[in-house]
Amino acid sequence: MSMHYFANPARFTRLAGRIQPLAGCLAAILLIVGLYLALVQAPADYQQGETVRIMFVHVPSAWMALFCYSFLAVASAVALIWKHPLADLAAKASAPIGAGFTFLALVTGSLWGKPMWGTWWVWDARLTSVLILLFLYLGYMALWQAIEDSQKAAKAAAVLALVGAVNVPIIKFSVDWWNTLHQPASVLRMDGPAIHPSMLWPLLIMALAFKAYFVTLLLARMRMELNLRRIRALRLAERSS
Amino acid sequence: MESVTEFMSMGGYGGYVWPAFGIVLFVMALLWVASMRGWRNSEKILATLRNSRREREDVAE
Amino acid sequence: MTRKRRRLYIVSGFMLIFATAAALVLMAFEENIVFFYSPTELARKMEQQPIPPNRRLRIGGLVEEGSLGREKDGVTITFRVTDTVEVINVRFRGFLPDLFREGQGIVAEGSVAADGKFVATEVLAKHDETYMPKEVAEALKEAGQWQGDHE
């Protein structure tokens, strides 16, 4: 099974050492290009004018918020079921990144909602479920900190992650299942994107930039977690010798 | 020069657009620095621990 | 069965049960989750049970073309909200969002007055999910292919 190929921490570290700088460079380049397209090149919207530029950071943030949680939930399931040695580290490493993007999705959403909708916040299904997502991330991170025994913490966190996973489809389909102020999906929908190419391309490039950024930070954080694990083991061994 | 002020104004919505981009870049930079620092620190501590362990083993011989 | 397989079944079973529980809870709280009623939904609700006069609720729909008007006090505006099937008369005094105009989607919060009109305390704009440059929108309108919110 290919997943177990990466179970060897040394192999993972070698690979991560090579991919991380590449992903970092890619993220920086895509971000610069994306920002130029978003702020300068992309046209104003026929309806929303220049505020539409907020979409180029709001939507990729929201996509990352959901993507990171899905990654975290899958890694947690792999940790619980297959007991892959790196899976719970991957989940733990991705949480702060996902939390950050969720926070950004909410804040940029507010900054977009005030001029366009006329309000900073409403308790509709979409906004409320994304706020819940933020709490799930924070609760997940808190659980890791709160439990002394790292193996017990991993298990408890994994369970929380899976319980919260139910929120992901709720967020995605909230705009379809219930009447909401937030509009339906513009890109990932049955009839294809409802965004003109001149705006779709900046959006996709920003989304790719955010993904490359995620990979970079994920690898750095996973390597950090691996090191911390080794440090704990070494210190424990010293104490007992 | 007019086009620069127009660019800053963003059709009158500059007060929303620029803070949005600003906070995104700020948070992403913060997370980046914190993650890289955390990782590099852990590498340092691990190397120190391994070195001191090796030294002790050398002395013990 | 291997321990791994048993863990797989336990986790999957747990997820299924929890998802079902979540679905049931969401269905039970539907009334509170819905952010607004369309004119048709409101009409249906009023048929089932008359709405008490101070009950706050939200309605949503399109501002009917040609329905925008101003009352004699010069400040209160009136318009009709439609979902192309039913219509609600709305009276509002306050700030309107930038996007407000005839044909635009809106959500209004308020209550149903004795005369059947909806007295709004807040009006928000609800825009659709299409994005395009102005020139493209103009071209579509000229070609008679416009499928968007407003003229």
A65 contacts A101 by C-beta, under 8 angstroms: yes
Give the mean pLDDT of A215-223: 98
Q: Is residue A47 assigned to a domain? A: no
- Residue in A with minimal Cα distance to C8: A81
pLDDT for residue C151: 43
pLDDT for residue A179: 93
Q: Is residue A38 assigned to a domain? A: no
Q: Is residue A26 assigned to a domain? A: no
Q: Is residue A85 assigned to a domain? A: yes
Contacts of C36 in chain A (CB under 8 A): 179, 181
Identify the H or E element spanning B57: helix B14-60
Angle at A154 (CA atoms; ends A149, A157), nearest 5 degrees:
120
Where do the H-state alpha helices sit in A52-149?
A: 55-81, 87-116, 125-146
Q: Is residue A122 assigned to a domain? A: yes
Range of the domain at A74: 54-184+200-240
Chains within contact range of chain B (3+ C-beta pairs < 8 Å):
A
Spell out the residues 6+ positions from residue B5 whose beta carbon is closer than 8 angstroms to its own.
none
Contacts of B39 in chain A (CB under 8 A): 220-221, 223-224, 227
Q: Is residue A125 assigned to a domain? A: yes
Where do the H-state alpha helices sit in chain C?
A: 3-28, 30-33, 39-48, 134-142
Nearest CB to A223 within list B20, B39, B50: B39
Is the Cβ pair C18, A170 closer than 8 Å? no
Helix (H, G, I), strand (E, B) or coil at C59: strand
> Token match 């994994």: residue?
A158
Angle at A98 (CA atoms; ends A92, A102), nearest 5 degrees:
150
Is the Cβ pair B31, A217 closer than 8 Å? yes
How far, in Å, are A124, A236, C70, C82 from residue C123 at the CA level?
A: 15, 63, 16, 15
Q: What are phi and psi of C61, to 5 degrees?
A: 170, -165
A202 contacts A42 by C-beta, under 8 angstroms: yes
Pairing of strands C105-112, C69-70: unpaired
A125 reaches B (C-beta below 8 A): no
Contacts of A118 in chain B (CB under 8 A): none
C44 contacts C65 by C-beta, under 8 angstroms: no
Q: Which of B9, B16, B48 to mutate to test the interface with A (most CBs of A within 10 A)?
A: B16
ipTM for the whole complex:
0.93
Residue-wise pLDDT for A187-212, tens only, equals 988 888 999 999 999 999 999 999 99
pLDDT per position in chain C (151 positions), as tens? Answer: 788 899 999 999 999 999 999 999 999 998 889 999 999 999 898 888 887 778 899 999 999 998 999 988 889 999 999 999 999 999 999 999 999 999 999 999 999 988 889 999 999 999 999 999 999 999 988 888 776 655 4
Question: For A54-68, A148-162, A180-194, which range has the lowest pLDDT when averaged over its residues?
Answer: A180-194
- Shortest Cα distance from C143 to chain A (angstroms)? 16
Buried b (16+ CB within 10 A) or exposed e, A37-76: bbbeebbbbbbbbbbbbbbbbbbbbbbbbbbbbebbbbbb
Residue-wise pLDDT for C69-103, tens only, equals 998 888 999 999 999 999 999 999 999 999 999 99
CA B24/CA B31 separation, integer angstroms? 11
- Shortest Cα distance from C85 to chain A (angstroms)? 17
Q: Is residue A165 assigned to a domain? A: yes
Question: Domain spans of chain C?
Answer: 1-33, 34-125
Contacts of A76 in chain C (CB under 8 A): none
* Structure tokens given for A44: 């104003």
C118 contacts C112 by C-beta, under 8 angstroms: yes
Cα end-to-end distance, chain B, whole Å = 76
A75 reaches C (C-beta below 8 A): no
Name the CATH code of domain C34-125 (choices 3.40.1360.10, 2.40.10.10, 1.10.530.10, 2.40.50.140).
Answer: 2.40.50.140
3-state helix, strand, coil in chain C (%, to 5): 30, 25, 40
